Amino acid sequence: MPLIKSHFKPSILFKNGFLSTVYSGIIRYIKHPQKRERITLSDGDFLDLDWSYASEPTKSLAIILHGMEGHGQRPYVSGIARHLNTQHMDAICVNFRGCSGQQNTQFFSFHSGQTEDLKDVIAHVISNHNYDSIFLNGISLGGNIVLKYLGETSNVPKQIKAAMAVSVPVDLVGSSKALHRFKNCLFHIYFMIGLKLKLKQKQRQFPTKISRLSLWRIWTLRALDEFYTSRANGFKDAAEYYSKSNSLQYLPAITTPVLILNALNDSFLTATCFPYVIAKKNPFIYLETPKHGGHVGFILPGKVYYNELRAAEFFLEFK
């Protein structure tokens, strides 16, 4: 598919990748009514879904997946739901395991390649609701899950018409290195504070599997992935976790229309996160790479962000 020329033009202030990332992720505020549903997963654990609805009954639904240290009520997630609700679509903002304010019951939680939970959510929706069109929208880590799911799943349900991945680290190895660079040190610290807190809670939940002493040895995302994320989820180490969870390798197999929106000034991404060659060869992949936008910072004047507008535009093409 030919690469898409982006028409995103932010204000001068938000051409700065750092400022757009911080404003979108930390400062932006949205109050959007949601109704929470708890579902039981196939392994007996639970997942919380935050629903919001169009003003009139609809046969269309968007399933939205947040990024690392996010949840279903973060503005960069609920903002998408709010706009899609105005476009006659219901929306589910998924809270990954341990991200809805309550620890999950299993020793492992979520990770960048956890597609089984997405499969359970989709199966739950199809079994209990009558939507003709289902769309997937993944942000950052959630985008990697969406792309991996579409590429690894041989029988994607017919109800899934299209998908979108925003600021997505399709190359986890490269993005891991990027997050450890000095220019991203403040973001690194921000992520580690939340993840370390969750790990401490997990230690109290499973004291025989995690010692208090081991917690003091984890001060970087790579160390956390090496010690906990990889091994708790059945991987040998962080390297195997990254290689097997990487969505880049699954892109050629995708047969569902998907829009990838990655900004060139996103400091979380490396050159390998812009799959131009694959997009040119696969007619189902639409790749848009605007100069600006930072990490999920596609800010426009008014209430609606550029990535939210693009989600509605793209999904309506395949509704």
> How far, CA to CA in Å, does 23 sit from each of 66, 104, 245?
17, 30, 29
Query: What distance, in Å, lies between the first and last C-alpha atoms of the chain?
Result: 20
User: Which pLDDT score, from 0 to 100, does residue 217 have?
Assistant: 84
Note whether 145 and 118 are within 8 A (CB): yes
Could you give the domains of the chain?
A: 13-170+247-317 (3.40.50.1820)
User: Which pLDDT score, from 0 to 100, does residue 1 have?
Assistant: 62
User: Which pLDDT score, from 0 to 100, does residue 119 have?
Assistant: 97
Neighbours of 64 (CB within 10 A): 27
- Mean pLDDT per 10-residue run, the chain (319 residues)? 88 96 94 96 96 97 95 96 98 96 91 96 97 98 98 95 98 94 92 90 91 86 93 94 96 97 97 96 97 97 96 95
> How far, CA to CA in Å, does 269 sit from each of 75, 116, 180, 280?
21, 25, 12, 20
